[in-house]
Amino acid sequence: MLELERIKIAIIGQGYVGLPLAVEFGQKYPTIGFDINEYRVQELSLGTDNTLECTEEQIKSSHNLSFTAQLNDIKSANFYVVTVPTPITDENTPDLTPLKKASEALASVISKGDVVVFESTVYPGATEEICLPVIERLSGLKFNQDFFAGYSPERINPGDKVNTLTKIMKITSGSTPEVADYVDSVYSSIITAGTHKASSIKVAEAAKVIENTQRDLNIAIINEFAKIFNRLDIDTEEVLKAAGTKWNFLPFKPGLVGGHCISVDPYYLTHKAKEVGYAPEVILAGRRINDGMGQYVATQMVKKLSSEKIHIDESRVLIMGFTFKGDCPDVRNTKVIEIIKELKDFNVQVDVFDSWADPIEVEHEYGIELISKLEEGAYDGIILAVDHDETKAMGIEAIRKLGRQKHVLYDVKHVFAPGVADIRL
């Protein structure tokens, strides 16, 4: 294996995962951040990150880091890290297209003795069954003889400025014991929280996919609790606070489960489970509950409007928040869109406000035109769908003023205390 002094790193994909990694590696080693999006590369070269994961100061202080959209520019690297997205199809099956394309690209630049590490979330076995055969076939190099591999799952939490890359323990693995030691030493050099060297690539893949699957199921049971407590006219948050006084009660909250991880990764695991002849039940039950929460919120709003004698047809509802989580600009797989679709099926006029979201991206991906200004006294219903700090800072009086004299306020994310809103999840 190469000495760390001779390492030259290329990070393929410069999104929420790849950029922070490139910035940290670029503090110590020659590092190239590669992305197929030329505009993204241009803005990063100027120190601008529209995902807000890295500041201009952080990017520019990474003195060994450069960015490129040209594949030939990363041929000189000898340690490649793949951080491309792993989405799902409309049928909730793994879409490995970005990963396959990244593997094809690697095949054209990889050289003898190089190491490639995958960070994208996959099902156990995907790295060795899907990615490495593509590199081997197209490059003409023999896996574990001419080139080597590892897997180190990403653990980035978008928008989290406390639990950042270096402060989260990193799982590492390699295709041989020697490679595993080498991959671990590379990551250990930047991860202050330490590393955990898994016994195999498959173990590392499995560990990642169950992290988010477990979280998805925990939120699903809380969402089911919320549905029950709503029927019993009990405030869910008050119940959770009471139950939380026991030392081993897990502090999860109800809500919309979107984003590129928690709402996606379970389908990777269930896909592989079915492939090997096991029919998963609990995981898919949790997915059904969480996937249906947007529709549930919309239905609850419509029922409350009706009970308040507010005419549903052509009523006007404001949704505050569109990103998949608070204080984060990421709109990938946001479940707020499900609330909007369901309300529109009731012929409700829906306005969406979110200063964190990119209006151009939202319109392109979802066909939704965000409003840029809030209008007082205009709405029959207001839904607090995302808990941005700026929403909290507005205060309940200012938010109530956006509604008509008779209106319904639905606090999905428990932005305010119990009893403040008309409905809470």
Does the annotation count 261 as an active-site position?
yes
Reported as a pLDDT band with limits 50, 70 and 90, residue 32 is very high
What average pLDDT score do residues 86-97 get?
93
Instruction: For residue 51, give the amino acid letter.
Output: T
Q: Is the pLDDT of residue 367 over 90?
A: yes
* CA 278 – CA 48 distance, rounded (Å): 46
Beta bridge partners of 171: 196
Of residues 129 and 258, the one with the higher pLDDT is 129
Q: Taking 80 as the threshold, does the pLDDT of residue 3 lie above it?
A: no
CA-to-CA separations, 13 to 61, 249, 276, 355, in angstroms, rounded: 20, 38, 31, 26
* pLDDT of 1 over the 70 cut: no
Tokens found for residue 254 = 């109800």
pLDDT in tens, 238-256: 999 999 999 999 999 999 9
If you ran DSSP here, which 8-state letter would residue 123 be given? -
Catalytic residue (choose from 54, 131, 261, 328) = 261
Residues 383 and 174: their CA atoms lie apart, in Å, by: 47
Amino acid symbol at 40: R
Question: What value does the mean pLDDT take over residues 221-242?
Answer: 96
Question: Residues 6 or more apart from 28 whose CB is under 8 A from it?
Answer: 64, 189, 190
* Residue 318 in this model has a pLDDT that exceeds 70: yes
Return the pLDDT at 314. Answer: 84
- Which pLDDT belongs to residue 158? 84
Tokens of 51: 């995902």
Looking at residue 159, its pLDDT comes to 82
Alpha helices by DSSP H, listed for 26-126, are 38-45, 56-61, 97-107, 126
CA–CA gap between residue 287 and residue 258 (Å, rounded): 11
**Mean of the pLDDT values across residues 51-67?**
94
In this model, does residue 260 exceed pLDDT 90? no
What is the token pair recorded at 346?
A: 């009731």
- Please tell me whether the overall predicted TM-score, pTM, comes out greater than 0.75 for this model: yes
Say which amino acid occupies 156. Answer: I
What is the overall mean pLDDT for the chain? 95
The pLDDT, as a whole number, for residue 10 is 98
Segment (H or E) for 236: helix 236-243
In whole angstroms, give the CA distance from residue 323 to residue 387: 10
- How confident is the model over 336-348, as pLDDT tens digits? 999 999 999 999 9
pLDDT of the residue at 157:
84
CA distance 280 to 260: 21
In this predicted structure, the answer to whether residue 267 has a pLDDT above a threshold of 90 is yes
Q: What is the pLDDT of residue 376?
A: 95
**What 8-state DSSP symbol labels residue 421?**
S
- Tell me the mean pLDDT in the region 151-157: 93
Radius of gyration of the chain (CA): 23
**Contact indicator for 386, 414 with CB cutoff of 8 Å:** no
Residue 154 has pLDDT above 70, yes or no: yes
Q: Could you give the CA distance from residue 216 to residue 222 in angstroms, rounded to a whole number? A: 10
Q: Could you tell me if 345 and 364 are in contact, meaning their C-beta atoms sit under 8 angstroms apart? A: no
